[in-house]
Amino acid sequence: MDLFGKVAVITGGSSGLGYALAEIAIEEGMSIAISGSNAEKLDRAAQALRAKGGDVLHRVADVASEAEMDAFADAIFTAKGQVNLLCCNAGVNTLRPVEAMNMEDWDFVVGTNLGGTFNTIRAFLPRMLAQQGGRHILYTGSMATVSQQAYQGLAPYTASKMGILGLSLGLETENPPEILGQTMAFVGSAESEMSSSALVRRPGRSMPRPSDKAVGVRRIPAEQAARMMLDGVKQGKRYLATHPELAPDVAAAHNPILAAFTDV
């Protein structure tokens, strides 16, 4: 999809990968709308993006809230008349082993990551399908979507990211690529504030994330990951990986599953 002159919506756009997606989208000549749950951070991000020459709308909206996402969608379609690229990027994590979690911990992660992705699509997709012009959904996935957890405490996060893949596959059955483009990015490790945000929002219920060096993962700048993701949209890629060197980890997770279909 050609991005120039199009409209992009980015959830979780006030920092990290979401902010980087907004920056690159502006460079590509897009108008953008960003949302986030922290008003002060969102205001700062919008001001910085406008200073870069961006046509920017912003609104505080929790992806897990139907009312807030409906209001966000109403504001964007009223102002712009269309949404061509919907970036489902907002995400949280809380590093706790399953036996130390409660349902509130689970809902915080799964309700935001998977439920919030569904809620974002629910709020925007009907009008996207009715509009003229391109329409595409970009998902911020993870290596947790397709492989073994890199470290302990990621069970709800992994479940949510795998669920997003399932949601996209179901959506593809209902809206094939010629109607709705979809790109899922398997992001190995990029700069973000996801773990630190959880420490603030869930004090006492989250643990610091181990360093990437400690778990043997190469972290890349958020801008690099964002560029790869938007290039993938332009090229119409269904899937893309930011860390191709992690392919053996994906094979190690999926080869035993494939073997179950032949070992009969």
DSSP labels, the chain? ---TT-EEEETTTTSHHHHHHHHHHHHTT-EEEEEES-HHHHHHHHHHHHHTT--EEEEE--TT-HHHHHHHHHHHHHHHS--SEEEE---------GGG--HHHHHHHHHHHHHHHHHHHHHHHHHHHHSSS--EEEEEEEGGGTS--SSTT-HHHHHHHHHHHHHHHHHHHHS-TTTSEEEEEEE--B--SHHHHHHHHSTTT--PPPPHHHHT---B-HHHHHHHHHHHHHTT-SEEES-GGGHHHHHHHHHHHHHHTT--
Domain count along the chain:
1
What's the CATH number where 12 sits?
Answer: 3.40.50.720
Which residues does the annotation mark as catalytic? 157
pLDDT at 41: 95
Residue 214: the pLDDT is 44
pLDDT at 251: 94
- Tell me, yes or no, whether 226 lies in a domain: yes
Range of the domain at 196: 7-260
Predicted pLDDT at 199: 46
Cut 0.75: pTM above it: yes
Does residue 2 form part of some domain?
Answer: no
Q: What is the pLDDT of residue 212?
A: 62
pLDDT tens readout for residues 54-94: 999 999 999 999 999 999 999 999 999 999 999 999 999 88
Low-confidence ranges of the chain (pLDDT < 50): 195, 199, 214-215
Residue 152 lies in a domain: yes
